[in-house]
Structure 1
Amino acid sequence: MGPTEHGTGRGGAFTPAHSQGEPAIARTRDGRELYYQRLAGPAGAEAVPTVVFEGGLAAGRSYWAPVQAALTDVAPTVVYDRSGLGRSPAAPAGVSRRLHTLAEDLGDLLDHLGPEGPYVLVGHSWGGPLVRLAAAARPARVAGLVLVDPSDEACDLLFQPSMRRAERVGQLATVLMARMGLLGRAYRSLTAALPPDAAADMRAEGYTVAMTRTRGRELEDAAGDLRALLENPPGLAGLPVTVVSAGRTSVGMPESVRERATVSHAFRARQSPHGRHVVLPEADHMVLTTSAAELAEEVRRLVVSL
């Protein structure tokens, strides 16, 4: 039995050693390593798109585990860590972590997985604009997008000075809590929602001081990154787009912010001739764990429609 095999389950079905699938390494165009895990879909899954998940700000692969688990009967899935997160080494100091370069890295991962695709890209929060950029770069290999409570340039709040202040305060608090070993406690409900192996990975990798450095680099000029999207909107060539909004408030998203974010999500869905906007009433911003089954159903709905 190889190092990543676990054996066979009921009926001879292969059971991966890890709930998020087999580990592997992809290389970016400049030689950096990106750690990823691939979970095989059902027999005959070669005929359906591979679902590739992209995390939010400084978020690695682990918190996608519940959504992945709910899709094993419909499609292969891939999760990965951006440079400086999880098990992917940090990018050198001179390598940008701005949104467009993160999208290039995702493109490099897709090249490694199979340059022709097809792929369904699922992006949460800051991962929303990221997957839009990656899809616009090579729309022919992308079958559709699912944007999960995404940051969106159509939301004017994201350009206000108060947002920059909130980013600075949030970053300082995150660094301090990580240094004190308290950051994991703040997110213990998120970690508790994961399978045991993904939860162990999250505790070991998701709340470190090293992660906070990457977080700071990804926040270098969030307003500038969003303004670039306003000035040069990513062309998605009529791809089907599902936009999922959370229905509940959460830390950093009081009712006034929640309402305006949801309006921007409805606008984004309307930009696609095959757009769909859905609000999940029991989800907060961490839709992946607060409404994992409902989110997985939206991904499933898109995949089976293709």
Structure 2
Amino acid sequence: MVTARIPPINCLLSFEALARLRSVSQAADELSVTPSAVSHRIRQLESQLGLKLFERGDFSLTADGSAYLGQVRSAIKLLAQPPEAVRSPRMTQLRLAVTPTFSRQILLPKLALFRHAYPDVELILQVSIPLLNITAESADLELRYGHGGYPGFESRRVLSDEVFPVCSPEYLHEFGPFDGFDTAERVGRARLIRSPLEPWRTWFDACGIHLPEPREGSQFNDVGLMLDAAVAGFGVALSRSKLGMAWVDSGRLVRLSPRSVASPYHHFICWKPGTLERWECAAFVDWLTETLTSS
């Protein structure tokens, strides 16, 4: 039987380092070799495999390179473990801090895809408070909600949304109709549910309504609770299109206007510098960005 030739380990280590760092000089420093040695090893590996692993310009991976990287990392990880660890493998843990409604409505329905793609990653989710960015424990990655630009963190925007007014069918029947909810007179006939997460100023400015931000009425610091309050007849809420889809699609809430207005707030995935050197963190950031962009 002819045994398949296994690529040299130094070639595989150079490939993994270059894929992660995307810099020949940094990969060479990490491996304590010269940059030319890294380049020769990559050419040797590509020649043996008969594959092109990198786009030459910025060292981004080709489709073949991306697929092979997963195999190489699994093999390196397995070889680095002592025999007892191989018999009883430990999951790679990834701690993620998420805002409540984003987690329930957007993230959790899609997490099965991530678990299928990365079965050796164990996700640990904990709740953070939107805008205040407070978490009970430290996390590797954080989903934050706001304007962006967080000191001490790198970030990537993963979700933007639009807003529009909603209320329960019962509330509309009792206090409506509101005919678009786009004038001061129509707004003035409703009880407005308040939230710092979605100020009414966004809707007022878009409709040319010259009213101050309401100072009275029920207030909630979670979008899901705010929409549940609207279902219970508390009044009119300003719903986000994607986060509030389940409430509207189920008929528990009805739109008061066909118009949608861009929210000034967005969802960001955030991390401290250096975090993405861990492959599982980089994998989750890339997966989340791609998943939400394509959905």
TM-score for both structures, normalised by structure 1: 0.27
Larger Rg: 2
TM-score for both structures, normalised by structure 2: 0.28
